[in-house]
Amino acid sequence: MSDSLIRPFSIKIFLPAGDPDGLRLIERSLWTGVGVVFNRSDYKTVASRLEFQRTGVYVLIGPSEDSSLPTIYVGEGDPVKPRLDSHHSNKDFWTWAVFFTTKDNSLNKAHVQYLESRLHQLARDAKQSRLDNLQSPTPPTLTEAEQADMEGFLQEVLHGI
């Protein structure tokens, strides 16, 4: 990355329970997005929060049984809570998760399907994890402007948080 593209910013990490290993809400200055990080063991407690009722893209992370690389699952939900509820009941590998949504509810189903597809592609190309997804998500049809917006959101996710 060129030095001319590097700009300073601040990150705020809020610990609602006061536990640095518990639920973390992560915000970046001048960004409408929010990252939500939580442990599987805390899921039933934290899932009642408002952030879980928003549209978002998520990654489940856990150890691999047959590799030193972590296992991940990339998904999306509108809202994320029903999908995470299902994964909490039906996917045993994950020990923690992160999802990204917005503070202003500006993401819609097509936006997060696009983000899911891009994150899945990036994870597959990086070859630094074992993907638990059985199928590669198909990107939805977005306008050129919406694709640019989602690429901007993705860059904030990847480089800012």
Least confident of 1-5, 68-72, 133-137: 1-5
> Which of the four pLDDT bands, split at 50, 70 and 90, describes residue 9?
confident
pLDDT of residue 1: 47
pLDDT of residue 159: 81
Q: How many residues does the chain have?
A: 161
Q: Are 99 and 38 in contact, with CB atoms under 8 Å apart?
A: no
User: Which distant-in-sequence residues (6+ apart) come within 8 Å of 148 by Cβ?
Assistant: none
Give how far Cα 106 sits from Cα of 15, 52, 80, 116, Å.
24, 15, 14, 16
pLDDT (tens digit per residue) in 82-126? 999 999 999 999 999 999 999 999 999 999 999 999 999 999 999
Q: Are 34 and 58 in contact, with CB atoms under 8 Å apart?
A: no
pLDDT of residue 153: 94
pLDDT (tens digit per residue) in 35-94? 999 999 999 999 999 999 999 999 999 999 888 999 999 999 999 999 999 999 999 999
Task: List the end-to-end C-alpha distance of the chain, in Å, as a whole number.
Answer: 16
Q: Where are the beta strands (DSSP E) in the chain?
A: 11-14, 24-28, 33-39, 56-62, 71-77, 96-102, 130-131
